[in-house]
Structure 1
Amino acid sequence: MAFCVLYPSLFSENLTPLFRNLRVPRGRNGARFMANSRESSQSPTKLVTFLGKGGSGKTTAAVLAAKYYASEGLRTCLVIHSQDPTAEQLMGCKIGSAPTECSDNLSAVKLETSKMLLEPLNRMKKVDARLNLTQGVLQGVVGEELGVLPGMDSIFSALALQKLVNFRSDERNAAPKEFDMVIYDGISTEETLRLIGVTERARWYLKYMRSMSEKTDIGRLTSPSLLKLAYDSINLNSGSSEGKTSTDIWNEVEQILERASASFTDLSKFRCYLVMDPMRSVSISSALRYWGCAIQAGTHICGALGFNPQSYAVTQEVAEKFSPLSFALLPYIGTDPFVEWETKLDSLDQSTKDLLGANIYFRPSVTFDSLQKTVTLFMPGFDKSEVKLYQYRGGSELLVEAGDQRRIIKLPPNMHGKVIGAKFTDRNLVVKLR
Structure 2
Amino acid sequence: MPRTPNTQLTLLLEAAGWSPAPFTAALRDVAAEQGLTLNVHLTTVRRWLEGAQPRPPLPALILECLSRRLGRCLTAHEAGLTRAPAQLVDPAWEADPLRKLLHLTHAELDPHRRALLGAGVLTATALALPPHGEGPAASGGQKYPGRRTVADDVGQLQAMAQVFATSADQHGGRHVRAGLAAYLAHEVIPLLHRPPPTRVHQGLRSATARLALLLGSMCADSGHHAPARHYHQIAARLAADADDPTILAIALRTIATHAHGLGDHTPAVLNLAERADQYARHAPPAVRAYTHIQLAVLNAHHNRHAAMAALARAERLHAQADAEPGPFSSYPAGALHFQRAQVLATLREPTNALTALTTSLRLRTETERLPAALTRARLAETHLRLGHLEPALAHWAAFLDAYPTLHSARAGQRVTAAVQYLRPHQRRADVADLLERITQVVGPLR
Structure ranking higher on relative contact order (CA contacts 8 Å, 6+ apart): 1
Normalising by structure 1, what TM-score? 0.26
Structure number with the higher strand fraction is 1
Higher helix share: 2
Provide TM-score, normalisation by structure 2: 0.25
